[in-house]
Chains A and B, each alone.
Chain A
Amino acid sequence: EAGVTQFPSHSVIEKGQTVTLRCDPISGHDNLYWYRRVMGKEIKFLLHFVKESKQDESGMPNNRFLAERTGGTYSTLKVQPAELEDSGVYFCASSQGQGRTEAFFGQGTRLTVV
């Protein structure tokens, strides 16, 4: 069974450009989470989807970040326009159904804004 996969693995963009990150969760997992780790800081929660609905987006930094999960399958996280402080590693995780189920993480996308 395939794990959580993220694309691209690395992205280098200029300040002001747009970048879209993609996450494919484990098949059948209703819950999808986005996290981010910026340099020197801990991994921080961004938002949580249950199927196609945003359950909790309390961790989203600002309105330059837009997350979608069309049809409750894969998810995208778009940053527009990107700023220098958006640099970091973006992780996606998924978990199965409701209840006390652990989340499995993807390998992350390293975003560098120059």
Chain B
Amino acid sequence: TQLLEQSPQFLSIQEGENLTVYCNSSSVFSSLQWYRQEPGEGPVLLVTVVTGGEVKKLKRLTFQFGDARKDSSLHITAAQTGDTGLYLCAGARGTDSWGKLQFGAGTQVVVTP
């Protein structure tokens, strides 16, 4: 089983601060996806990274895929209360389908005013 370990499990910060969430594995994934989940909802896709060393930006969110495609990070700049949520990383096992995913346990982010 390819384990995806996320750290930290829980993160509480104040509005305006920066935060980084890490996702690590001993195995290589063909792609890695970041999701955000709100209570009572399903995971919502934020970004997919594919190439080793790739960096993608989504407004104040920066996603990085490690050179060896085993790890990834999500950095949020100047966090806002609306960034509160459960952030999940998920690695795709197959090369022909990105829907069969290995999920990390998630990082609960709480941004306070």
Residue of B nearest to A98 (CB): B96
Asked if A105 contacts B100 (CB within 8 A), the reply is: no
List chain A residues, Cβ under 8 A from B100: 33, 45, 48, 56
List chain A residues, Cβ under 8 A from B41: 107-108
The total of chain B residues at the interface (CB under 8 A) is 26
Asked if B96 contacts A99 (CB within 8 A), the reply is: yes
Asked if B40 contacts A107 (CB within 8 A), the reply is: yes
Q: Mark A14-42, 1 if CB is under 8 A from B, else 0.
A: 00000000000000000101010000011
Near A by CB (< 8 A), chain B positions 66-98 give 88, 90, 95-98
Most chain A beta-carbon contacts within 10 A, residue among B43, B102, B103, B104: B43
Asked if A105 contacts B43 (CB within 8 A), the reply is: yes
Residue of B nearest to A101 (CB): B98
Judge whether A75 is part of the interface by a CB distance below 8 angstroms.
Answer: no
Bound CA–CA A83/B43 (angstroms): 26
Bound CA–CA A103/B93 (angstroms): 13
User: Nearest chain A CB to B87's CB is how many angstroms away?
Assistant: 13
Bound CA–CA A93/B35 (angstroms): 13
List chain B residues, Cβ under 8 A from A4: 42
With contact pairs A48-B99, A95-B98, A100-B98 given, residues A106 and B42 touching in the complex (Cβ less than 8 Å)? yes
Bound CA–CA A9/B41 (angstroms): 10
List chain B residues, Cβ under 8 A from A108: 40-42
User: Nearest chain A CB to B46's CB is how many angstroms away?
Assistant: 10
User: Among A98, A104, A105, A107, which residue has its beta carbon within 8 angstroms of that of B97?
Assistant: A98
Q: Which 6 A-B pairs have the closest CB atoms?
A: A105-B42, A103-B99, A43-B103, A95-B99, A42-B105, A42-B103
Task: Provide 10 A-B residue pairs closer than 8 Å at the C-beta atoms, listed in order of the A residue.
Answer: A43-B101, A44-B103, A91-B42, A95-B99, A98-B96, A100-B98, A101-B97, A101-B99, A102-B48, A108-B42
Extra A-B contacts (17), CB below 8 Å, given A45-B100, A105-B35: A9-B40, A33-B99, A42-B106, A43-B43, A43-B88, A43-B90, A43-B101, A45-B101, A45-B102, A56-B100, A91-B42, A100-B31, A103-B98, A103-B99, A105-B43, A105-B44, A108-B42
